[in-house]
Amino acid sequence: MPVFRYKVRDKEGKVLSGTIEGSDLKTVTDQIDSLGYIPISIREEKAVFRGPQINLGQYFERVKPVDLINFTRQFVTLHRAGLPMLTAIGALQAQTKSKPLAKALDAIRRDLMGGAALSVAMAKHPRIFNELYVNSIWAGETGGVLDDILDRLVMLLEHERKLRSDVGSAMRYPIILMVVFVVAVIVLATFVLPKFVSLLTTIGGKMPLPTQILIAVTNFMGKYWYFLALFIAAVVVLFYMFIRTSAGRMWWDRLKLRLPIFGPIIYKMALSRFARMFETLDRTGLPILRSLNLVSKTIGNVYLAQAVDSLTESVRRGRGLAAPMRELEVFPPMVVQMVATGEESGALDEMLKQISDYYDSEVEYAVKNLTGLIEPIMILIMGVAAVFLIISIIMPYMSILTSFGASGGYGAQ
């Protein structure tokens, strides 16, 4: 389809430019007129064959969480103020300091001018707007509650940013210990152990088992490190390809809920997301089946989304919410009881809000205690590794002393 470069003026008099696809000049002009813009110039771009374009930089471009949070917060403010979506996106594109985000917003603005929905335009940039973000925008567009969904997205993004920050803080000290330990192993295995081994071999002493293990590992790493690197890379690639499949994604999302320390946090965040989205959509007056269908797309976990789909099917058969939720054994008893109370009293929205508030506070409490949970485990692991290293070094030294002592004793006789 031909591509046309345009220059237009919006209602505030600001000049905007970009490209748009269209079958002919009249179609493009009609599209621009329907959006309320005043055309200044519209011309078809000449098609130039450039050959296959490979942009390796796009695989390394990342948008900082704070930039995405600021964009979402400012977007909901402008949208709630009544600004046209194109004008809001253009303003945010002009002021963001993130080049990848500005580039994506420019492409999104062009797609919107071509008649695409916001969620569809954002879905073309998965490295910036992930599946949860895009599905949430889609739910907001479909349910007519985009402002409320954007508010919720800001909360979710801030929770995730805080979680990463706290995990990074909790892991900083153990990582320093690990780096020091690895450097110590390399230095000892390279400069100290060979001398002990040579001396012990000369006097006919026996090599201790821990020392044999350490030497074998270091020799293997020194000779075949590239094979190990290739093996790890292959495992990572195969694992990534596996979790991109339906069965792999289901297995991985289910496993994440069972991980020690992090599993309960992920589970509570998903439950909070389920309750908040369900409450937001239900308040708009959407039919409950429609609300559940939208919620299953925004929960962020395929395993739990499947449970919500099963719940939707049970509700479709007229069974209500509480009974099938209890049978699924995915939702905690407290959640089931509060939903049952909300159904009976006609205050389901309020119960869902309380559930979400409760799990938000639970997640916040769990994140604050991450340091206390991670540090002892990492220190214990590093302590065991350090003891093994010390034993590997001390035992051959003691064997040498013992051998010299025995030789001296025989010499005295």
Map 155-181 to HEC letters.
HHHHHHHHHHHHHHHHHHHHHHHHHHH
CATH of the domain at 349: 1.20.81.30
Sheet of 3-9, strands arranged across: 15-21, 3-9, 38-44
- Tell me: do 364 and 300 sit in the same domain: yes
Predicted pLDDT of residue 287: 82
Counted domains in the chain: 3
Among the candidates 368, 390, 407, a domain finishes at 368
Query: What mean pLDDT is predicted for residues 243-247?
Result: 89
Q: Is 391 a residue whose pLDDT tops 50?
A: yes
Give residue for tokens 């046309």.
4
Band (pLDDT 50/70/90 cuts) for residue 70 is: very high
Residue 124 has pLDDT above 50, yes or no: yes
- Both 260 and 337 in a single domain? yes
pLDDT at 23: 67
Q: How many residues does the chain have?
A: 413
The per-residue pLDDT for 49 is 42
Spatial distance between the Cα atoms of 279 and 144, rounded to a whole number of angstroms: 14
13 and 101 both lie in a single domain:
no
CA distance 363 to 129: 23
pTM of the model: 0.67
Domain boundary among 129, 155, 178: 129
249 or 28, higher pLDDT: 249
Identify the pLDDT of residue 412: 44
pLDDT greater than 50 at residue 53: no
Instruction: Give CA–CA dist 341/323, Å, rounded.
Output: 12
Does a structural domain hold residue 106? yes
Among the ranges 42-56, 193-207, 300-314, 371-385, which has the highest mean pLDDT value? 300-314
Same domain, 8 and 113: no
Q: What is the mean pLDDT of residues 99-117?
A: 88
18 domain residue, yes or no: yes
Cβ(300)–Cβ(132) under 8 Å?
yes
Q: What's the pLDDT score for residue 50?
A: 44
Give a yes or no: residue 315 inside a domain. Answer: yes
Looking at the DSSP bridge assignments, the partners of residue 15 are 9
| Top-ranked range on mean pLDDT: pick from 12-16, 168-172, 383-387 | 383-387
Contact status, residue 39 vs residue 33, Cβ threshold 8 Å? yes
- Which residues, other chains included, contact 80 with Cβ-Cβ below 8 Å and sequence gap of 6+? 147
Same domain, 21 and 124: no
CA 293 to chain centre: 23
pLDDT greater than 70 at residue 243: yes
The answer for residues whose C-beta is within 8 angstroms of residue 219's C-beta and 6 or more apart is none
Supply the pLDDT for residue 205. Answer: 60
Residues 32 and 123 in one domain: no
Dihedral of the CA atoms 303, 309, 310, 311 (nearest 10)?
110
- Find out whether 375 and 171 touch, Cβ atoms under 8 Å: no
Q: How confident is the prediction for the chain on average, in pLDDT?
A: 81
Whether residue 162 is contained in a domain is answered as no
Of 346, 124, 307, whose CA–CA distance to 292 is shortest? 307
- Tell whether 140 is covered by a domain: no
Cα separation, 138 vs 297, in Å, equals 9
**89, part of any domain:** yes
Domain that holds residue 35: 3-44
Residues 6+ apart with CB under 8 A from 20: 3, 4, 6, 28, 31, 32, 110, 113, 114
pLDDT at 77: 92
Tell me, yes or no, whether 239 lies in a domain. no
**Section 67-76 average pLDDT:** 92
- Using pLDDT thresholds of 50, 70 and 90, give the confidence band for residue 21: low
Residue 149: pLDDT band (50, 70, 90) is confident
Which of these ranges, 26-30, 312-316, 336-340, 379-383, has the smallest mean pLDDT? 26-30
Specify if 214 maps to a domain: no
